[in-house]
Amino acid sequence: MDKKIESVILIIVGSYFLIGNTIFSLLFNHIGPSYDVPVNSEDYWSNWWNNYGIITVAIAVTGLILLIFGIRVFIKRNEISEIKAEANQIH
């Protein structure tokens, strides 16, 4: 597979993991009792952190790593193509 395509895929997947999954996790993973018992905010966030927080942070860090790696490959690929273009103009 072409390195440019690989880098774009890494950037897309990394962006989703970093931004999309984090937002969806905060919005859709609700912690609370099954009955209408009020839950204060401290209990809610401590329960959310214990159940979903650690995996959400791990996925966000993975997304950040993929995003950085994809950008580095994309920049490196563009630099190589610029060097080849300059070499072709010289000859």
Overall pTM > 0.85: no
pLDDT of residue 34: 60
pLDDT of residue 63: 95
Average pLDDT over residues 33-53: 78
Residue position matching structure tokens 């072709």: 88
pLDDT of residue 74: 85
DSSP per-residue codes, 11-63: HHHHHIIIIIHHHHHHHH-----SSS----HHHHHHHHIIIIIHHHHHHHHHH
Average pLDDT over residues 22-41: 76
pLDDT at residue 67 is higher than 90:
yes
Average pLDDT over residues 72-77: 86
